[in-house]
A and B are shown apart, each in its own frame.
Chain A
Amino acid sequence: MWISECGMRNISRLSFGRRDRISGPFRIPYSQIGIRIHTAFQNLHLGPFRIPHSQIRIFEQRLRRLIFLLLPNLAINASLSAAGKWTVEGFWENRGFLYAANSCSGCPHTEADSHLQTQIQYRFGKNIFVFEPSIWMDTRHQVRRNQASYSDRTDQRPVLSTNEFYLLIPLGSLDLRVGKQKIVWGRADGFNPTDNLTPFDYLDLMENERIGVTALRARQYWGSASLDMVWIPTFTPTRLPLLAQRWFPLRARDQARGVEVRSSVKYPATTPAHSQVALRWDDSRRGWDYSASYFSGWNDIPDYNIQFAVSSRSVQLDLARSFSRLQVIGADFAGVLGGRALRGEFGFFRPERKNNLPLINDRRNYIQYALGTDWRWGDWYAIAQWVGDNSLGTRSTFDIPGGPPRFPDRGFGQAVLGRVERTLNSWSSVHVNAVIRFQDADFLLKPEYLYDISQSWKLQAGFLILGGHRSGFLGQYHENSRMYIRLKQSF
């Protein structure tokens, strides 16, 4: 119906970003056991895991201290300000999915979930306090029902979590934001190589959500220009699909059948030396918006160290997850050329080179880019975007030979993203999203119908069609093609 709310959100849901996984078979020289394994298997998330709660507890204790320090200040400001104002808003969304095929044993043909998100804002003077709790319920065992979490680092989604919890303090020409927050960078549609600060929840790959991170963000303005400075003291990983679920890579799941899987995870330490920093210069002049950015932090997709143990009774697989450092230099722009909006984004990625682990990862530097346009004619709206991913330099002895990189944080390869919208009237519209990957000749097609039942209730129904070559990232999920319905109430 209009570009921002529905359009961007749905495109971003379509996006797989740099965290998307692309799978493909190749041989790993595990000479000891001679087992062939699927690459994506090593990069995706197996559960259940033993979570190092000690680190989370330390972090949460520190955060509580910070809140206790801030609260008196908040209270004083609130009492001094006559303009203090509370607002509560949010939505309640219910989704149902119907699958034609059964892609895994125990995966039902129907799934449903319910999501209640509330945002509580308190404004006093120019300051804003934001608290955004979220409650999830589902039938697909992606939600851990007896768990509430602030840090949101668990493999399953906690039933109660905090999306955002921060204080925004404008100090002259400086905006200071402290607390858990979502930081979104980038100007391209659907694929943003510069957007590396906030991880994703990929339990359902096609309906991904953002996970907030605890950060200190300072944005200094000089007229139309600004410098965005972010410090993230604690690490939050991306949440990956669970084993024995539909979005776990098909071949890896098949190969893991009958194997006892044990897993462990090691997060980066919570010390200043292990924190993440990012800078972004942003400006808008003569009809063009542009930025340049730098990120030095951690890849929120884990590396895996894999060991097999074969006994007479079973085959045991030990997965040790760890995270490696990552630096990204990026730039983006948006403007108007020839009467059409033109948007582009570029990222140069420099992953840490570890000599010991993991053997399976390609550690070469690489670039990712997106270039697209969008335009309207009458009641039609269309976005077309080309995205690419290219490794630089030659492989090292520690890189796995046998084809292009197959890692979750390596984007689409070469692909075209598209979206077409047709507004039918003030209450309804039809959207079609599409992704075509050239590397493996696979695709995604998502036609959907949106209808405003009333001022606050919205209905969305459609199909998700995945197809193409089975070794491709999208093609491997061909049995996950589905029909869906979404009912959302905003308040």
Chain B
Amino acid sequence: MNKTLFTTKTQRAARVFVIFVSLWFILCFAHVNAASALEMMQKVDQQARSHSEQHLGSLEVHDKGGKVLKKAWQSWRTGFGGNSKIIVRFTAPAEVRGVGLLIINHTRGSSDQWLYTPSIQRERRIAPQDRSVRFLGTDFSYEDMEQRDINDSEYELLAEETLTGSSVYKIKATPKKDVRSQYSFLFLWVDKNTWVIPVTEFYTDGKLIKKLFARSVEKIQNIWTPQEFEMQDVRRSSRTIIRLSGVQYNQPVSDDIFTLRSLRSNP
């Protein structure tokens, strides 16, 4: 009986020990995962970092009926991430030619955005919640067009996988509570070699709503640069393809371009 009692006590102690060790291990592992996920995102951020960028862009919106809508623009950026300024000027089609978008990102808080329309000769401040809206009828939203600060989200490493022959990390990014976002969380697949994100999935209220694919990755001025993006809207069964050309990094860009004056003057 004593032996039985002893055995029972030992077993209980052993169980408690195992549970404690397991919990400790899980917590440590989770911490390591969180830390490493953030480090990975920092590498992604670091790899793509440049003081400035400019490019010519074109996009095609394909609906489920096969109809195609095309638009083209020119874009300039100075700074990076949450401390950046972007101006986009549309060049085609005729209906939107001259329309400009100025985005001033802030490290903390929402960005300032203005949209200028030449036909009414007015710029118009866009409210933050407007950023969930489709950008110029595409499958990208205004929020998707922003340069996000990596500190705006919390990251969790979920798995290591193989994606179209490349080794990737699967990371979950969840916007922090004080950051306004239309998305509940994102799944990111990060390429181990290039630190480019070839696939992103966007979730709202636990449902997949969009998928973003980054392709045609080339090294431009020592920065791995995807030159084709495809955003798929799962709910609408539509997709938007963006192609970049003439990408240039770290070229001198005057700060005067990123002002309301420049937006109004329709350069």
Interface residues in A383-435 (C-beta closer than 8 Å to B) = 423, 425-427
Asked if A334 meets B125 with Cβ closer than 8 Å, knowing A9-B119, A490-B93, the reply is: yes
Residue of B nearest to A287 (CB): B112
Report the bound CA distance from A336 to B259 in whole Å. 19
Please tell me if the beta carbons of A426 and B238 are within 8 angstroms of each other in the complex: yes
B75-118 Cβ-contact flags toward A at 8 Å (1 or 0) = 00000000000000000011111010000000000101001110
**A8 sits at the interface (CB 8 A):** yes
Please tell me if the beta carbons of A2 and B261 are within 8 angstroms of each other in the complex: no
Residue of A nearest to B180 (CB): A339
Report the bound CA distance from A339 to B117 in whole Å. 23
Asked if A3 meets B94 with Cβ closer than 8 Å, knowing A339-B129, A426-B238, the reply is: no
Residue of B nearest to A117 (CB): B119
Report the bound CA distance from A159 to B97 in whole Å. 26
Inter-chain contacts of A377 with B (CB < 8 A): 129
**B12 sits at the interface (CB 8 A):** no
Asked if A427 meets B115 with Cβ closer than 8 Å, knowing A175-B265, A289-B125, A336-B125, the reply is: no
Residue of A nearest to B106 (CB): A287
Asked if A341 meets B236 with Cβ closer than 8 Å, knowing A12-B120, A224-B259, the reply is: no
Shortest CB-to-CB span from A183 to chain B, Å, is 8
**A144 sits at the interface (CB 8 A):** no
Shortest CB-to-CB span from B140 to chain A, Å, is 11
Interface residues in A1-51 (C-beta closer than 8 Å to B) = 1-5, 8-9, 12
Residue of A nearest to B135 (CB): A2
**B63 sits at the interface (CB 8 A):** yes
**A323 sits at the interface (CB 8 A):** no
Shortest CB-to-CB span from A81 to chain B, Å, is 15
Report the bound CA distance from A372 to B265 in whole Å. 27
Report the bound CA distance from A455 to B70 in whole Å. 7
Report the bound CA distance from A300 to B125 in whole Å. 30
Shortest CB-to-CB span from A67 to chain B, Å, is 22
Please tell me if the beta carbons of B94 and A175 are within 8 angstroms of each other in the complex: no
**A335 sits at the interface (CB 8 A):** yes
Shortest CB-to-CB span from A281 to chain B, Å, is 14
**A170 sits at the interface (CB 8 A):** yes
Interface residues in B123-151 (C-beta closer than 8 Å to A) = 124-130, 132-138
Shortest CB-to-CB span from A226 to chain B, Å, is 7
Please tell me if the beta carbons of A455 and B61 are within 8 angstroms of each other in the complex: no
Inter-chain contacts of A175 with B (CB < 8 A): 261, 265
Asked if A426 meets B125 with Cβ closer than 8 Å, knowing A5-B119, A284-B260, A456-B95, the reply is: no
**A340 sits at the interface (CB 8 A):** yes
Inter-chain contacts of A438 with B (CB < 8 A): none
Inter-chain contacts of A284 with B (CB < 8 A): 112, 260
A338-356 Cβ-contact flags toward B at 8 Å (1 or 0) = 0111000000000000000
Please tell me if the beta carbons of A341 and B126 are within 8 angstroms of each other in the complex: yes
Report the bound CA distance from A490 to B94 in whole Å. 6
Inter-chain contacts of B137 with A (CB < 8 A): 1-2, 423, 426-427
Report the bound CA distance from A163 to B129 in whole Å. 36
Report the bound CA distance from A335 to B130 in whole Å. 13
Asked if A375 meets B129 with Cβ closer than 8 Å, knowing A2-B136, A5-B119, A452-B69, the reply is: yes
Inter-chain contacts of A479 with B (CB < 8 A): none
Report the bound CA distance from A9 to B118 in whole Å. 11
**B121 sits at the interface (CB 8 A):** yes
Please tell me if the beta carbons of A3 and B128 are within 8 angstroms of each other in the complex: no
Please tell me if the beta carbons of A491 and B260 are within 8 angstroms of each other in the complex: no
**A184 sits at the interface (CB 8 A):** yes
Inter-chain contacts of A128 with B (CB < 8 A): 265-266
Q: Which of A4, A89, A170, A458 has the most CB of B within 10 A?
A: A4
Asked if A89 meets B94 with Cβ closer than 8 Å, knowing A224-B260, A339-B127, A426-B69, the reply is: yes
Shortest CB-to-CB span from A282 to chain B, Å, is 9
Inter-chain contacts of B138 with A (CB < 8 A): 426
Please tell me if the beta carbons of B260 and A5 are within 8 angstroms of each other in the complex: no
Shortest CB-to-CB span from A228 to chain B, Å, is 11
B153-196 Cβ-contact flags toward A at 8 Å (1 or 0) = 00000000000000000000000000010000000000000000
Shortest CB-to-CB span from A31 to chain B, Å, is 49
Shortest CB-to-CB span from B124 to chain A, Å, is 6
A453-479 Cβ-contact flags toward B at 8 Å (1 or 0) = 001101000000000000000000000
Please tell me if the beta carbons of A427 and B63 are within 8 angstroms of each other in the complex: yes
Shortest CB-to-CB span from A290 to chain B, Å, is 11
Please tell me if the beta carbons of B259 and A490 are within 8 angstroms of each other in the complex: no
Shortest CB-to-CB span from B71 to chain A, Å, is 9
Report the bound CA distance from A170 to B259 in whole Å. 15
Inter-chain contacts of A12 with B (CB < 8 A): 120
Shortest CB-to-CB span from A12 to chain B, Å, is 6
Say which residue of B96, B97, B133, B265 sits within 8 Å of A170 (CB atoms): B265
Please tell me if the beta carbons of B69 and A335 are within 8 angstroms of each other in the complex: no
Please tell me if the beta carbons of B69 and A455 are within 8 angstroms of each other in the complex: yes
Please tell me if the beta carbons of B127 and A91 are within 8 angstroms of each other in the complex: no
Shortest CB-to-CB span from A96 to chain B, Å, is 21
Shortest CB-to-CB span from A429 to chain B, Å, is 9
Interface residues in A155-182 (C-beta closer than 8 Å to B) = 168, 170, 175, 182
Asked if A5 meets B96 with Cβ closer than 8 Å, knowing A184-B120, A226-B261, the reply is: yes
Please tell me if the beta carbons of B128 and A339 are within 8 angstroms of each other in the complex: yes
Residue of B nearest to A336 (CB): B127
Please tell me if the beta carbons of B120 and A455 are within 8 angstroms of each other in the complex: no
Please tell me if the beta carbons of B238 and A8 are within 8 angstroms of each other in the complex: no
**A221 sits at the interface (CB 8 A):** yes
**B67 sits at the interface (CB 8 A):** yes
Report the bound CA distance from A221 to B262 in whole Å. 11
**A376 sits at the interface (CB 8 A):** yes
Say which residue of B67, B127, B136, B259 sits within 8 Å of A375 (CB atoms): B127
Shortest CB-to-CB span from A159 to chain B, Å, is 22
Report the bound CA distance from A456 to B97 in whole Å. 11
Inter-chain contacts of A91 with B (CB < 8 A): 94
Inter-chain contacts of A204 with B (CB < 8 A): none
Interface residues in B44-73 (C-beta closer than 8 Å to A) = 61, 63, 67, 69-70
Please tell me if the beta carbons of A89 and B97 are within 8 angstroms of each other in the complex: yes
Residue of A nearest to B120 (CB): A8
Shortest CB-to-CB span from B181 to chain A, Å, is 12
Inter-chain contacts of A219 with B (CB < 8 A): 261
Q: Given known contacts A335-B125, A375-B127, what 10 new A-B pairs fall within 8 Å (CB)?
A: A4-B115, A221-B259, A339-B129, A341-B127, A376-B129, A377-B129, A425-B236, A426-B69, A426-B138, A427-B137
17 contacts between A and B (CB under 8 A): A3-B130, A4-B117, A9-B119, A91-B94, A128-B266, A334-B124, A339-B129, A340-B127, A341-B126, A375-B130, A376-B127, A378-B132, A381-B133, A426-B69, A427-B63, A490-B93, A490-B94
